[in-house]
Structures are given as structure tokens and as C-alpha cells.
Amino acid sequence: MLKNTSFIVVNCMANTTLTNISILHEGDFMEFTSNKLSPGEASQPIPFESDGNNDYWDISFFINGKRYVRYQKECGLRDNDQNQITVISLYEENFSVVTPQSKGCFNNHYDSMNIHTSANINVINQTGSPLHTEVNSKTDITSSINYFDNKEIPANTSSTIIGIQSEGLFSQSNFEIGMRSKKEGSISFNLGSKSSGGNTKVTAVDGSPAFAGFVAARSPFGFGTSYDLHLYAGQTQASKLINSFFEANAKAIQSYINANGYTFTFGEVFSIKLNQLQGLENSSCTYSTLSTSDETSEANKKKFKFTTILNNQGSISLDTIFNVNESQVHLNNAYVKNLQILLEGNLEMDLSNQSLAVELSTFKVYLEDYSIDFSALAKLFPVVAVILKLVGDITATPANLAGIINSNEILGITTNLNQIIIDDLNMLLDKKTVSANEFLEEITI
């Protein structure tokens, strides 16, 4: 065992800044993380212990939103490397592990991230107490998942984002992470091989409503990391209020829309008229937390951050009319199955006049199946018509559709689609202060 050994991380590029850097030594899980490394910048030394034989390194960083990753690169130290510094040298085309005296490992390639199903995973502790995590089980998954074994996440913080991927080309990987704070529970995930038609989803949550998992598809069409996996722990009293609303109003809202229709207007040129809606009564809130915002509150005002996961166990069928300027498309018999929505943002309550204002910052979706006529919808959106056509005709998978909705860039083309959705939803909310009583009257039919 080699002790008193350290590594540093160096951005060896002259004009390129690296972001969201994570360099992990797997044996003792000593890790360097940083939001940014400027051109030519080196990190402070990170102490680690080597067994003097087999050392495995996990490399992950971003350049202009593109992720570069390598899992389990073997590069072992030897006895003559004791008490010295190993250098992880990062380039755009490759990376090197430069050991002090022994052979080292130079010009190593990055993983393509296309062959295996890959994911970024983090744990978000929204409780007021430390959260202990353990890896209860794992099958055909890279050992980087062990980062969460016997790990403690401080109160009201998020863990480091760790990259994982399925090990077998045609395997269905899975793992379970146990979490313990004031309550105890676990979350199970499947990470499926696209090649074999596998699935990626939360398979079980034990300890609900204190714990929740969410799968957000990203990088559609197999380019880059496939998914973001989020594991949440928090106080979820707010979910009871939301479920009470669904129970009291879902059927009435559905009946009103089916009888009268309802038009959502986004700006001056875009609107959606909802003619028919079925399946809303199967909706529920599986997780919702409120925490004090970091922003300074004015007198008589309280600011909160919220995280909410909405879930529809079944199918939501729609009959809609899309209007853009003078053009119109009618979509009937469209549906989505087992839809989940992740919402995050800020909530401001004015105690002086009992009013509230809501602003979204995150909108992500997960779905298991859908039916939408993209060839018709593409007529309204010529900028993304090629992408919509590709989804509809070639790779019409739910993950690709969710990835398009969840992303602002597709196949290197900037779409800002996710940000547009968030902006339009905020426009719908009007980002204005509304009387709490008026708000309830407005949404209760």
C-alpha cells in the first residue's frame, strides 16, 4: 500500500476552459471536483492511497456543453512513486496519467458514450439532516456507482455528479441505493441497453414520500450521456396539498375542458387549444418539497425553492389544435403513457396581502410511450422540422422524445427548446403576484 501519495489535475489546453470536472481514484474514492479549470490551470494536490498495483481512474469534464468521459482507466503506481505527485493531464483528444517514476499511461482515449447506456447520477439531500447512502445491490454497472456506498451527504446539499454506464453491450443493468436520515428507504433504477430494447426507469421507491427518483432523458439519438438520474430526499408535506387538489378537481377540470375546450396562449403568435382530455384523474404528486430560498426576502415576503414530481399512472389522451400565426394543425388521438414531470423553481409569498408568485427554472419529463403525428406538427415549426421528422420516422422512442423536450441542443443544433418551454410556462403563469384566493378560485372548477 502506497500512502502519502497525491494527484493533481491540469488543463493542458491553451484556449479552452473545462467545466464540471470530476476525477475519481476508484480504490479509496478520493476525488477532485471543480466547476471550472481555466486554460493551463492546475488543481491543488489530492491525497490518495494506492495498492501499488492496480489503480483505476474515472475521468469526466465538459467543454462547451459536450461531455468527455472515461471509466475505469487502469494505470497503476509502483513502489518508486511513493511520496510523490501523479499528474492527470487533460486534452480535448485524449488524457494522460503521468506517474512520478514508473511507466505511466499516455494518450488515453475517451469513451464514446454511444455503445453502452450511460447516465449522470446525483443525490439531492433536501432534508435538514445529514443523509447516509449505501449501494445495496448492483448488476452489470460500472464500479463508479460505489461512490455512493457508505457516503454522507450534508444537510441541504447535492452530491457530486457521478458518471455511470452499463457494462454489457446488450445487458439490462440495475442498482439499488439505500438512503437513511430520520427515515430509511431505498431507490432502485434500471439502466437499459438501447441495443437490446431495454428500459431505463425508477423501478421501486421504498420509504415514500420521503424519497423519490427521477429519470430525465438527455442527448437523444445516442450521442453523449443518455440520462440524468436524480435521487431526492426531503420533507414532503407539500405533496399532500397537491394530491388533495388533484382528488378534488381533476375530474371537474377534465369535464370542463371536454365541454368547453381551453386555450393556452403563449405570447402573440402561438396558442394551443385543448378540445378533449382524458386520464387526468390518474395524476398524483409523488414528491414535493419547499425550502427557504438563498435570496434575501423583502419585508412581509417569504421566498422558497420548490422541487415537485408529478406522476400520471396510465395514459393521458389529447385532442388539440396548435396555432402559429395564421397556420393551424389539428392533432387528435394523441396520447402519452406513464408521464412524469419534474418541476423546480421559486415561490414567493406576500404575507401582507396573502398573495403568491411562482417562477419555474426546471422542466423535465419522462414517459414510457406516446403517439403523436410529428409529420403534421413539423409544418408549424420549420426550424425543428427535420428533427421532428427524424423522431417520427426513424427513432420514435419515448427516450428520444423526452430527450428533445429536456434539452436545448440536439445533434449539435441549438434549439433552446427546453428553455422556450420554461419561458412559455412562466408566461402562462404570468410571473405576477396573484391573490391566493383568486388563484384557488381560478383553478377550482
pLDDT at 176: 93
Give 332-336 contacts, CB < 8 A, sequence gap 24+. Answer: 332/276, 333/371, 334/370, 334/371, 334/372, 334/373, 335/279, 335/370, 335/371, 336/312, 336/367, 336/369, 336/370
Q: Which of 201, 234, 267 is the last residue of a domain?
A: 234
Distance CA 165, CA 190 (A): 11
CA-closest candidate to residue 287, choices 435, 144, 124, 162? 124
Quick: pLDDT tens for 58-98: 898 888 877 788 877 889 888 888 889 999 999 998 999 99
- 78 and 122 share one domain: no
CA-closest candidate to residue 398, choices 243, 183, 216, 152? 216
pLDDT at 177: 95
Containing domain of residue 170, as a range? 118-234
What's the average model confidence in pLDDT over 303-325?
A: 87
- 318 and 218 share one domain: no
Cell numbers 453523449 correspond to: 224
CATH number assigned to the domain comprising residue 166: 2.60.270.50
What's the average model confidence in pLDDT over 182-207?
A: 78
| Side-chain half-sphere exposure of 374, counting CA atoms within 13 A | 18
Residue 285 burial (C-beta neighbours within 10 Å; 0-12, 13-18, 19+): buried
Quick: pLDDT tens for 14-68: 999 998 898 988 877 788 988 899 999 999 999 998 877 778 898 988 888 777 8
pLDDT at 332: 81
Contact 362, 405 (CB under 8 A): no
384, part of any domain: yes
166, part of any domain: yes
CATH number assigned to the domain comprising residue 68: 2.60.40.3820
142, part of any domain: yes
Asked if the bond preceding 398 is cis, omega within 30° of 0, the reply is no
Distance CA 234, CA 351 (A): 25
18, part of any domain: yes
442 has pLDDT over 90: no
Listed range (176-185, 235-244, 385-394) with the worst mean pLDDT: 385-394
What's the average model confidence in pLDDT over 187-216?
A: 80
Residue 401, phi then psi, degrees to nearest 5: -65, -45
- 124 and 100 share one domain: no
Contact 138, 174 (CB under 8 A): yes
Which residues make Cβ contacts (< 8 Å) with residue 398, sequence separation at least 6?
217, 367, 368, 369, 370
Quick: pLDDT tens for 264-291: 776 677 788 888 889 988 999 999 998 8
Listed range (96-110, 166-180, 242-256, 326-340) with the worst mean pLDDT: 166-180
What is the dihedral sign for C-alpha 112, 113, 114, 117?
positive
Distance CA 292, CA 306 (A): 9
143 has pLDDT over 80: yes
- 216 and 343 share one domain: no
pLDDT at 326: 74
Return mean pLDDT, the chain.
Answer: 82
438 has pLDDT over 60: no
102, part of any domain: yes
- 311 and 430 share one domain: yes
pLDDT at 378: 64
CA-closest candidate to residue 174, choices 196, 204, 150? 204
Residue 13's pLDDT band (boundaries 50, 70, 90)?
Answer: very high
Quick: pLDDT tens for 372-410: 776 666 666 655 555 555 555 445 578 878 888 898 877
What's the average model confidence in pLDDT over 203-212?
A: 86
Cell numbers for 21: 470536472
By percentage, how much of the chain surpasses pLDDT 70?
82
Residue 195's pLDDT band (boundaries 50, 70, 90)?
Answer: very low
320 has pLDDT over 90: no
- 101 and 133 share one domain: no
pLDDT at 437: 46
- 202 and 278 share one domain: no
CA-closest candidate to residue 66, choices 100, 17, 30? 17
- The SS3 call for residue 297 is coil
Residue 434's pLDDT band (boundaries 50, 70, 90)?
Answer: very low
pLDDT at 96: 95
Residue type, 208: S
What's the average model confidence in pLDDT over 426-432?
A: 68
335 has pLDDT over 80: yes
- 302 and 331 share one domain: yes
Instruction: Please give the residue that has the higher pLDDT: either 331 or 374.
Output: 331
Q: Which of 64, 90, 108 is the last residue of a domain?
A: 108
Sheet holding 355-366, edge to edge: 283-292, 301-312, 340-350, 355-366, 434-435
pLDDT at 9: 97
pLDDT at 385: 53
What's the average model confidence in pLDDT over 178-203?
A: 79
Cell numbers 505527485 correspond to: 85
pLDDT at 390: 55
Q: Which of 65, 83, 108 is the last residue of a domain?
A: 108
- 283 and 406 share one domain: yes
Quick: pLDDT tens for 295-310: 666 666 788 889 999 9
What number of residues does the chain have? 445
Which residues make Cβ contacts (< 8 Å) with residue 139, sequence separation at least 6?
173, 174, 175
113, part of any domain: no
76, part of any domain: yes
Q: Where are the alpha helices (DSSP H) in 171-320?
A: 237-260
Domain count, the chain: 3
156 has pLDDT over 70: yes
305, part of any domain: yes
pLDDT at 377: 67
Quick: pLDDT tens for 241-268: 888 888 888 888 889 889 988 887 766 7
- 169 and 97 share one domain: no
- 216 and 340 share one domain: no
Residue 162's pLDDT band (boundaries 50, 70, 90)?
Answer: confident
Residue 293, phi then psi, degrees to nearest 5: -75, 155
118 has pLDDT over 70: yes
- 36 and 136 share one domain: no
